[in-house]
């Protein structure tokens, strides 16, 4: 079976994707620098799939290290590239860290892929490239707006770098997947989201509040022009998202792609408000969540949810799990993690 490199394969979305790749029969090699993950995630992957991926601890900024890796693994058929920094606020404070971490690493990998006889490349992009879209739901043809943060800019520039490279590299085919808001964890609660420090994202903040690590959730603004006044997002279960990567990879390896560079939105198509997420959590957990309404968070867009037609019809993928499934699995995971201590 084909050998696939997953960079950032011990991270949140990466680890769930490794599981789905191994379930599909792919041989997986993980590169991770463990800067925002832990080697123990491997145990979870092995326990779920019964298969052990190859793991190399490598910082992708190490250009010589990347070259040596590809010399050793010149039979790689595809790369799913998750490894990147992803904190929006941090990127505003340290732009060069983000440009170096997210852009130079991408360039080094693409340079190696140019040397292979053929390769498929899947890129972790984000709905952040659309900013506040003029029309909802958001299609892939929506305008890419000026990025609000260096993080968002690395996704836009990353897409352009890949598209430019594909134009001059006939042996390279790529898909950029624009994620909406990934949440939840594997149903076995053997892998999940492990934010370091205070979570910036809504769902881990909710579960950490419910378990008692955080005192209360601050809801950032209830005066937005939405039905209940809180912001709307498209929360997609990470297992559905992981499966989409396998479908996208299959598309490239089976030459079903329509052009050498394609983009797809990955979301459920349903927008949920912050208050609806809290309600879904309370329903599936039976817990009452402590929260208060505070002022708006700078940089938040009002509403974003995906038009899923292209992903459903062209990619042939659709979500199978809903927000309650995601909240149930996130809660189960939080309880397991805290028991482990
Ligand atoms: N929110 C709260 N309280 C919190 C955390 C979040 O009310 O403690 C609200 C936010 O204001 C927002 C919603 O919950 O309305 C979702 O916030 P997240 O931080 O979970 O997600 P974002 O949509 O802001 O960010 C996500 C990814 C980013 C990506 C962005 C693109 O985390 O990497 O989508 O839109 F850039």
In the residue annotation, 151 being an active-site residue is answered as yes
Structure tokens at 202: 């809504």
Mean pLDDT across 138-157: 96
The reply to whether ligand 1 has any atom less than 6 angstroms from the CB of 233 is yes
Structure tokens at 218: 């601050």
> H/E/C letters for each residue in the chain?
CCEEEEECCCCHHHHHHHHHHHHCCCEEEEEECCCCCCCCHHHHHHHHHCCCCEEEECCCCCHHHHHHHHHHCCCEEEEEECCCCCCHHHHHHCHHHHHHHHHHHHHHHHHHHHCCCCEEEEEEEEHHHHCCCCCCCECCCCCCCCCCCHHHHHHHHHHHHHHHHHHHCCCEEEEEEEECEEECCCCCCCCCCCCCCCCCCHHHHHHHHHHCCCCCEEEECCCCCCCCCCCEECEEEHHHHHHHHHHHHHHHHCCCCCCCEEEEEECCCCCEEHHHHHHHHHHHHCCCCCEEEECCCCCCCCECCECCHHHHHHHCCCCCCCHHHHHHHHHHHHHHHHHHC
The reply to whether ligand 1 has any atom less than 6 angstroms from the CB of 314 is no
Which numbered atom of ligand 1 lies nearest the CA of 304? 35
The whole-chain average pLDDT of the chain stands at: 97
Tens digits of residue pLDDT in 241-266: 999 999 999 999 999 999 999 999 99
Confidence at residue 341, expressed as pLDDT on a 0 to 100 scale: 63
Which numbered atom of ligand 1 lies nearest the CA of 151? 36
User: Going by C-beta distance under 8 Å and a sequence separation of 6 or more, which residues neighbour residue 7?
Assistant: 14, 30, 31, 32, 60, 79, 80, 81, 82, 83, 105, 109
The reply to whether ligand 1 has any atom less than 6 angstroms from the CB of 128 is yes
Tens digits of residue pLDDT in 277-320: 999 999 999 999 999 999 999 999 999 999 999 999 999 999 99
Structure tokens at 46: 């092995």
Q: Which of 108, 151, 235, 305 is catalytic?
A: 151
Tens digits of residue pLDDT in 77-114: 999 999 999 999 999 999 999 999 999 999 999 999 99
Residues 160 and 97: their CA atoms lie apart, in Å, by 19
Structure tokens at 157: 């520039």
Residues 18 and 26: their CA atoms lie apart, in Å, by 9
Query: Which residue's alpha carbon is at the smallest distance from atom 36 of ligand 1?
Result: 128
């Amino acid at each position: 079976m084909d050998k696939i490199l997953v960079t950032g394969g011990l991270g949140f979305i990466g680890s769930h994707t490794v599981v789905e790749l191994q379930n599909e029969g792919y041989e997986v090699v993980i590169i991770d620098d463990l800067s925002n993950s832990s080697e123990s995630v491997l145990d979870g992957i092995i326990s779920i799939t019964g298969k052990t991926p190859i793991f190399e601890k490598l910082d992708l900024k190490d250009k010589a290290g990347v070259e040596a890796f590809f010399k050793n693994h010149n039979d790689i058929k595809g790369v799913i590239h998750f490894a990147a920094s992803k904190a929006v606020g941090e990127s505003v404070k340290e732009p060069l860290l983000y440009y170096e971490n997210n852009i130079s690493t991408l360039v080094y990998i693409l340079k190696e892929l140019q040397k292979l006889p053929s390769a498929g490349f899947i890129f972790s992009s984000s709905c952040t490239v659309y900013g506040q879209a003029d029309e909802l739901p958001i299609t892939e043809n929506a305008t890419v707006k000026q990025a609000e943060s260096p993080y968002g800019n690395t996704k836009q520039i990353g897409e352009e770098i890949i598209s430019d490279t594909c134009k001059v590299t006939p042996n390279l085919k790529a898909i950029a997947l624009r994620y909406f808001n990934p949440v939840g964890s594997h149903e076995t609660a053997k892998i999940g989201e492990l934010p370091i420090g205070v979570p910036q994202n809504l769902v881990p903040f909710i579960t950490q509040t419910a378990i008692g690590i955080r005192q209360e959730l601050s809801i950032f603004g209830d005066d937005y022009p939405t039905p209940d006044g809180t912001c709307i997002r498209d929360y997609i279960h990470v297992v559905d998202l992981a499966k989409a990567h396998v479908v996208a990879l299959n598309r490239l390896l089976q030459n079903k792609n329509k052009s050498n560079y394609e983009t797809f939105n990955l979301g459920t198509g349903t927008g949920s408000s912050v208050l609806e997420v809290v309600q879904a959590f309370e329903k599936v957990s039976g817990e009452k969540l402590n929260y208060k309404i505070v002022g708006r968070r700078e940089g938040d867009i009002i509403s974003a949810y995906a038009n899923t037609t292209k992903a459903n019809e062209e990619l042939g993928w659709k979500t199978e799990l809903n927000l309650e499934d995601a909240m149930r699995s996130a809660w189960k995971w939080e309880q397991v993690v805290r028991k482990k201590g």
